[in-house]
Amino acid sequence: MQKDMDTLGLLKKLVSIPSFSREEGPACDFLEGWMKEAGLGEVHRIGNNLWVESSPADDRPVILLNAHIDTVRPASGYTRDPFFATEEDGRLYGLGTNDDGGSLAALIQVYALLKDTPQPYRLILSATAEEEVSGRGGLDLLLPEIGRVDFGIIGEPTGMRMAVAEKGLMVLDCVSFGKSGHAARNEGVNAIYEALGPIDWFRNHVFDRVNDFLGPVKMTVTQIDAGTQHNVVPDRCTFVVDVRPNGMYTNPELLAMIKDSVNCEVKERSTRIDSSSLPMDHPAVVRGLSLGLEPFGSPTTSNQAVCPFPTLKIGPGESSRSHSADEYIVLDEISEGVRILTELLNGLEL
């Protein structure tokens, strides 16, 4: 690691710059300047996405290192200022320290360590926007600019376990219809009652195909809305379903099965957030297993979902701290992550 590369100072500064999804401009401006001063090479930018390359394009495979710079909004239970980084008892507190500042710091250091040593691949480091909202202005926007990628490390807080599979995401907007009437009389058709059958199906249905790492498809009703006032039978009940595909069905296939099974209107917001998986015989997984890294299936989505090439999700920190009040990263987790990722990537033959 370069002696003047103060990634702890970088993290503290980034905490102080709000970088909510689609509002990452000021944080991206600061990081762009920091990367230039740190001597990481020519810094490229599109939108609020940055990348640097270890060498000009050649015939070697390309490995992409990626972490995101956007955050969710702070949870209501914060007892500390979420925008003031506090170092205490070996921890760094502040919004975005765990998700995804720890991975950003680690990948920057790994890139600095590997970029000037002979490798059987070209290395690209990227810091991208809109991950928390699966937006098209993030990694989706950057990938066409950098061209071919053969393998990616997606930095996320996994406790340095290897996420060799990741569930996808579909959000469904559902509507059950009824007929309005006076609540005091036996009139109308209550749309809330009409929704109970479909809601019960989403709660209890089990799809046949189960993934060894990801388990079954998971469906959860997360929002519901109906009625205009207490004495009117509602003629419309809307509800939202969070669906986590497990890679055993394509998203369109799963959507068609759902629409055929429930007696309500179902409209998908998107089918683009696919499940992903990495074969256990992939060179990166084989190397990781030799280092004692544990493989697992991740229930949460990340930038893996938009990568049309093999990826491994791994990084310092714990997923359970993400989006929580008083978020923090343990500083030793970052240094350990740098060590493991360097060993994982140094000399890796794809």
The secondary structure element, H or E, covering residue 126 is strand 122-128
In angstroms, the CA 247 to CA 244 distance is: 9
pLDDT in tens, 133-145: 999 999 999 999 9
pLDDT tens string 243-279: 999 999 999 999 999 999 999 999 999 999 999 999 9
Domain spanning 170-268: CATH 3.30.70.360:
yes
The span from the CA of 282 to the CA of 63, in Å, is: 14
* 7-166+275-345 maps to CATH 3.40.630.10: yes
Q: With beta carbons less than 8 A apart as the criterion, state whether 214 and 299 touch.
A: yes
Query: Count of CB atoms within 10 A of residue 231's CB?
Result: 10
The pLDDT mean for the chain works out to 96
Domain boundaries, the chain: 7-166+275-345, 170-268
Q: Cα–Cα distances in Å, from 225 out to 176, 218, 247, 327?
A: 11, 22, 31, 32
Quick one: pLDDT at residue 5?
80
Spatial contact of 89 and 164, defined as CB atoms under 8 Å apart: no
- Give the pLDDT confidence of 160-213 residue by residue, as tens digits: 999 999 999 999 999 999 999 999 998 999 999 999 999 999 999 999 999 999
Q: What is the CB neighbour count within 10 angstroms for residue 26?
A: 12
Amino acid letter, 13: K
> Over the stretch 81-112, which tens digit does the pLDDT of each residue have?
999 999 999 999 999 999 999 999 999 999 99
3-state secondary structure of 241: strand
* Residues forming beta bridges with residue 276, ordered by sequence position: 166
What is the spatial distance between Cα 268 and Cα 45, in angstroms, rounded to a whole number? 32
> What does the pLDDT look like over 304-348, one tens digit per residue?
999 999 999 999 999 999 999 999 999 999 999 999 999 999 999
